[in-house]
């Protein structure tokens, strides 16, 4: 039985998944799972811990808030979400996310967010591994140059100095690693629909996905 209350959005970095997921969560009043942020948070813990059980211990002490429209991570009282958006954390997360221990440690937390409230799940393996029963699965792609430009603006707004050439290279390398890894690689689920956001505005992407969602839940 397909779950009408779950929409999965998978795809490479900076394809526009985050913004789309946030807007969908707002429109449909669903909870938001930004799984990339969880992998970043886990990497942040792992750097302090140096082994998986200690990392998991630290991770379980973080407060993760996904109900208010945008996912946020708190360490004690500090909101560390912006810190986790740094490129060095993204690189560490990409490496660590290829390990079985990391993925096993995070899967039950991700699944625990599915409920009658509805869930928008943003990541790489949401439709293939974490929520294979989701009724609506989107695979969002965009040209690497377009993605690098988007990430460039995002990082500049976040006061991180970067240059375009390095960024394109970093995105390429990270995508290759995400696609080539053995466990939970970045691949479209067989029942997903591919949306290319290169030439679309965020509003157009949102409308397209809302249409797909309405069609999908009608079919069930």
Which residue ranges make up the site for ligand DC (CB under 6 A)?
13, 35-37, 39-40, 90, 93-94, 97, 123-125, 174, 178
In whole angstroms, how close is the CB of 84 to ligand DC at the nearest point? 8
* Residue (140 or 209) nearer to ligand DC, CB: 140
Which H or E element spans position 196? strand 193-196
Q: Cβ closer to ligand DC: 175 or 209?
A: 175
Task: Give whole-number Cα distances, 92 to 17, 65, 128, 203, in Å.
Answer: 20, 22, 23, 32
CB of 220 to ligand DC, least distance (A): 25
Instruction: Tell me the two tokens of residue 25.
Output: 């969560």
Q: Nearest distance from residue 52's CB to ligand DC, in Å?
A: 15
Query: How far apart are CB 128 and ligand DC at their closest, in Å?
Result: 10
Nearer to ligand DC, 176 or 215 (CB): 176
Going by C-alpha positions, the residue among 131, 164, 130 that lies closest to residue 148 is: 164
Closest CB to ligand DC among residues 23, 178 = 178
Residue 40 beta carbon to ligand DC: minimum distance, rounded to whole angstroms = 6
What does the DSSP assignment read for 1-48? Answer: --EEEEEEEE-STTSSHHHHHHHHHHHHT-EEEEHHHHHHHHHHHHHH
Tokens of residue 176, six digits: 């290759």
Closest to 216 measured CA to CA, from 29, 6, 76, 55: 6
SS (H, E, C) 121-138: EEECCHHHHHCCCEEEEE
- Minimum Å gap between C-beta 96 and ligand DC is 8
Contact criterion met (CB below 8 Å) for 69 and 26: yes
Nearer Cβ to ligand DC, position 87 or 191? 87
- Closest residue to bound ligand DC by CB: 36
For residues 45, 75, 91 and 185, what is the CA-based torsion angle, rounded to 10 degrees? 80
Smaller CB distance to ligand DC: residue 118 or 185?
Answer: 185
């Amino acid at each position: 039985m397909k779950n009408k209350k779950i929409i999965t959005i998978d795809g490479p970095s900076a394809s526009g998944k985050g913004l789309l997921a946030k807007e969908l969560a707002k429109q449909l009043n669903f909870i938001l799972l930004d799984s990339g942020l969880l992998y970043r948070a886990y990497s942040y813990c792992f750097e302090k811990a140096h082994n998986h059980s200690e990392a998991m211990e630290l991770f379980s002490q973080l407060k993760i808030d996904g109900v208010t429209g945008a996912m946020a991570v708190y360490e004690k009282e500090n909101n560390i979400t912006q810190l986790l958006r740094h490129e060095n954390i993204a690189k560490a997360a990409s490496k660590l996310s290829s390990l079985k221990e990391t993925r096993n440690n995070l899967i039950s937390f991700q699944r625990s967010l599915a409920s009658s409230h509805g869930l928008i799940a943003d990541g790489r393996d949401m439709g293939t591994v974490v929520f294979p029963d989701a009724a609506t699965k989107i695979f969002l792609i965009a040209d690497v140059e377009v993605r690098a430009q988007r990430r460039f603006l995002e990082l500049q707004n976040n006061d991180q100095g970067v240059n375009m050439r390095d960024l394109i290279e970093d995105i390429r390398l990270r995508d290759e690693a995400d696609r080539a890894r053995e466990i939970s690689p970045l691949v479209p689920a067989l029942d997903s629909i591919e949306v290319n956001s290169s030439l679309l505005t965020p509003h157009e992407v949102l409308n397209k996905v809302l249409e797909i969602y309405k069609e999908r839940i009608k079919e069930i």
